Chain A
Amino acid sequence: MSRHNRQIGGWSLAIFVICVASLIPVLWIVFLSLKTPATATDGSFIPHQWTLSNYSAVFDQGIFTDALRNSIGIGLISTVLAVALASSAAYAIARLDFPGKQVILLVALGVAMFPQISLVGPLYNLWRQIGLYDTWPGLIIPYMTFALPLSIYVLSAFFREIPWELEEAAQVDGATPFQAFRKVIVPLATPGIVTTFIIVFIICWNDFVFAISLTSTSNAQTVPAAISSFPGVSQFSVPYGDIAAAAVIVTIPVMLLVLVFQRRIVAGLTAGAVKG
């Protein structure tokens, strides 16, 4: 009995430590975003005076709302393109027999390990020459590319688990090939595709290297780049509250995705990384 209690105590302690370590920086930025400008620099963890004014201030700034629009648009388009290209490649890798399968997997591995910053100079140069600098396609192209390796690994891991015999079985039972695909394969493949979609969207949403290098105005600047260049009221005051509020807003969608799809993301990431 006492051994059992000790076990419960030990696990509770471990869980408590994990919660505190994971959540404190998040709580801190949330609390900072709720402090009034006068108390923002008082160094207390919990605000003495609470306010929502930082949030309305952030939404009043064109730099932030434009960046939010860019982040959402660029993120969604890059994700759709990457998942579409990766789905067809992953289907071939999981299902078909062809020479060069190892080559494509090695290329993907190579791209996954690529130091992205190495591309920044040449892309910056090229984009300025062909007019893609500071545009949506200028970010979508690198985002899609660097999302492809993980998408291919995760999707082919998922596709390998699909019982493809069911498709033939449905056809034997009188379904047309298209019906068999739509009614049998699509529902089985959807969870994998949704998971990949979420993982890829998070990667695009998070990017900073390309965003800071290949954009300069609200034309294509995404939220991470905008946060890093937030203007203060004057040159000498850091807009702590604004930065914190913007940081919280940009975190919320990703956090919701992660918590809601937690189980799937874990399965997808581990399948892609270990079995991939």
Chain B
Amino acid sequence: MSAVTAPPSAPSAQPTSRKQHLTERARAERRLAFWLVAPAAIVMVAVTAYPIIDAVILSLQRADLRFPNATKFIGLSNYGHVLTAPVWWQDVFHTVIITVISVSIQFVLGMCLALVMHRVIFARGLVRAIALVPYGIVAVVAAESWQLAWSLQSGWIPKLLGLSGDPLSHTFGTYVAIIVTEVWKNTPFMALLLLAGLALVPDELQEAAKVDGASTWERFTKITLPLMKPAIVVALLFRTLDAFRIFDTIYIFNQGAQGTESISMLNYNTLLDRLNLGLGSAVSVMLFVFVALIALVFIVGFGAGRTGTSEAT
């Protein structure tokens, strides 16, 4: 951002009066910037900070909407409940399984898709438009379409695979169906982020390596991948955080039946089905902490923060 600030004059070389004028100007600029940024900043902070603080407070109370008069402060016992409940750890496990598998597949397929979009020698516009189709589909519609396709009653997939039983009636089949849905829906976005990284790899470097006798695979692993690292880290960060919050697809498939309940699904069920605000808020806060930890690992461990914010400067 520093590149696009006010006129690029050199204040130190100017006479004092000019310098005075500049600081006056700088002060006015700061005031203007403040007024321009304030509305967006206030909205973002108010709408996220207030509820999360409220969630922390609620999580320290026995607050059950079915028994509004029994509300009282009970310290950390909701957290104790959650952390000792097998269902919490099962749901963490489900969420991690879905996140790791679906993001890994999205990364491999997304890389292939990005390479095709980058290198294809004809019909480039067509490929890019078609590849964006899953991105443009409403998430709920994507989930409905896949759910109806896998379901034994209505779908074509059981017939195609020659299955006699309903794949969505057991855990393994349901996981496959949910992961396929997630991969289908999100691979294009992964590919777009990787494509932006591919565009930064200079062609001359590839040519030079080719002249030196490097194979295609060597060029990909030794040149393309390292140079793309910032884009890869950002893409994985975004996709991992999003996959970890998985809700829509599971809700549409079976609302967490067949052992597919994710943390978000548990959160929703506790809050809005069982109306237990105290316990549900404890789950909310822990999900929030999990997501923050994942972000921290990416930012500290792989420098996603640097590429995420300072490349803009």
Contact A107 B45 (CB under 8 A): yes
- The verdict on A212 contacting B251 (CB below 8 Å), with A43-B154, A228-B140 known, is yes
Question: When chains A and B are docked, how far (Å) is the Cα of A20 from the Cα of B211?
Answer: 37
**Interface size on A (CB < 8 Å)?**
104
Interface residues on B, range: 35 or more
Contact A22 B134 (CB under 8 A): yes
Q: Which residues on A sit within 8 Å (CB–CB) of B5?
A: 95-97
Binds B, one of A53-61, A141-149, A174-182: A141-149
A-B contact count (CB 8 A): 309
Contact A115 B245 (CB under 8 A): yes
Q: Which residues on A sit within 8 Å (CB–CB) of B281?
A: 121-122
Contact A28 B140 (CB under 8 A): no
Contact B1 A93 (CB under 8 A): yes
Q: Which residues on A sit within 8 Å (CB–CB) of B4?
A: 94-95, 160, 164
Is B128's CB within 8 Å of the partner chain A?
Answer: yes
- The verdict on A85 contacting B40 (CB below 8 Å), with A29-B148, A145-B47, A270-B193 known, is yes
Is A1's CB within 8 Å of the partner chain B?
Answer: no
Question: When chains A and B are docked, how far (Å) is the Cα of A141 from the Cα of B149?
Answer: 35
Contact B312 A105 (CB under 8 A): yes
CB distance from A252 to the nearest CB of B (A): 10
Q: Which residues on B sit within 8 Å (CB–CB) of A217?
A: none
Contact B141 A250 (CB under 8 A): yes
Contact A142 B47 (CB under 8 A): yes
Contact B251 A11 (CB under 8 A): no
Point out the residue from B54, B113, B132, B241 that lies within 8 Å of A126, measured CB to CB.
B54
Interface of A is mostly: helix
Question: When chains A and B are docked, how far (Å) is the Cα of A251 from the Cα of B133?
Answer: 10
Q: Which residues on B sit within 8 Å (CB–CB) of A244?
A: 144, 148
Q: Which residues on A sit within 8 Å (CB–CB) of B184?
A: 21, 25
Point out the residue from B135, B145, B158, B247 that lies within 8 Å of A209, measured CB to CB.
B247
User: What are the interface flags for B28-41 relative to A under an 8 Å C-beta threshold, 1 for contact and 0 otherwise?
Assistant: 01101110110111
Interface of B is mostly: helix
Would you list which residues of chain A between 16 and 60 have a CB under 8 Å from chain B?
18-19, 21-23, 25-26, 28-29, 32, 40-41, 43-45
Binds A, one of B79-87, B116-124, B212-220: B116-124
Is A86's CB within 8 Å of the partner chain B?
Answer: yes
Question: When chains A and B are docked, how far (Å) is the Cα of A269 from the Cα of B195?
Answer: 11
Is A73's CB within 8 Å of the partner chain B?
Answer: no
Point out the residue from A7, A43, A98, A109 that lies within 8 Å of B158, measured CB to CB.
A43
The chain B residues found within 8 Å of chain A, CB to CB, are 1-6, 26, 29-30, 32-34, 36-37, 39-41, 43-45, 47-48, 50-52, 54-55, 58, 113, 116, 120-123, 125-142, 144-146, 148-149, 153-156, 158-159, 184, 188-189, 192-193, 195-197, 230-231, 234-235, 238, 241, 244-245, 247-248, 251-252, 264, 267-268, 271-272, 277, 280-281, 284-285, 287-288, 291-292, 295, 305, 307-309, 311-312
Would you list which residues of chain A between 120 and 174 have a CB under 8 Å from chain B?
120-126, 141-142, 144-145, 148-149, 152-153, 156-157, 160, 164
Residue in chain A with minimal CB distance to B230: A274
Question: When chains A and B are docked, how far (Å) is the Cα of A100 from the Cα of B304?
Answer: 20
Contact B142 A266 (CB under 8 A): no
- The verdict on A115 contacting B29 (CB below 8 Å), with A18-B130, A157-B312 known, is no
Point out the residue from B47, B58, B133, B148 that lies within 8 Å of A258, measured CB to CB.
B133
Contact B126 A15 (CB under 8 A): yes
5 A–B contacts, CB within 8 A, in A order: A94-B4, A119-B48, A119-B55, A208-B251, A223-B138
